[in-house]
Amino acid sequence: MKKVLLMSAMLVTGAAMATPQFMLNNGTSVEAIAQQEKVKIEADALPDAVKAAIAESDEVKALPIAEAFQITQLDGTFHFEVIFDNGTEEKLTKKYDQEGNEIKG
């Protein structure tokens, strides 16, 4: 009888310890998905500050813009992701804040 009670207690304890870890991993994934909203925009819709930063950059001023996105965070802030066609299969991507400053990393 003692073995049955001991095994039952161990089983319940093990299940109770495993459940929170599963819940933590699952909740983190949902948060990462809902963290930002990425909306494709036309290159002409980029703010003037971003257009000026692109025109002043020797690295990208001669490259055509393949795609542009406005990425909005949950806190309401946003930045822009601009993908340039540099003639290779792997295109060049740059990120800019609203004032036209390049975001590194």
Q: How far apart are CA 51 and CA 76, in angstroms?
A: 22
Q: Give the number of domains in the chain.
A: 2
pLDDT at 73: 86
Average the pLDDT over each of 4-8, 21-25, 51-55, 99-103 and give the range with the smallest value: 21-25
User: Whole domain around residue 22: which residue ranges?
Assistant: 1-34
My answer on whether 52 and 101 are in the same domain is yes
My answer on whether 9 and 48 are in the same domain is no
Give 48-92 pLDDT, tens digit per residue. 999 999 999 999 999 999 999 999 988 889 999 999 999 888 999
HSE-CB for 52 with a 13 A CA cutoff: 8
My answer on whether 66 and 82 are in the same domain is yes
**What is the token pair recorded at 17?**
């310890």
Identify the residue whose tokens are 């949902």.
30
Confirm whether pTM is higher than 0.85: no
My answer on whether 79 and 97 are in the same domain is yes
Give residues with Cβ within 8 angstroms of 3, minimum separation 6: none
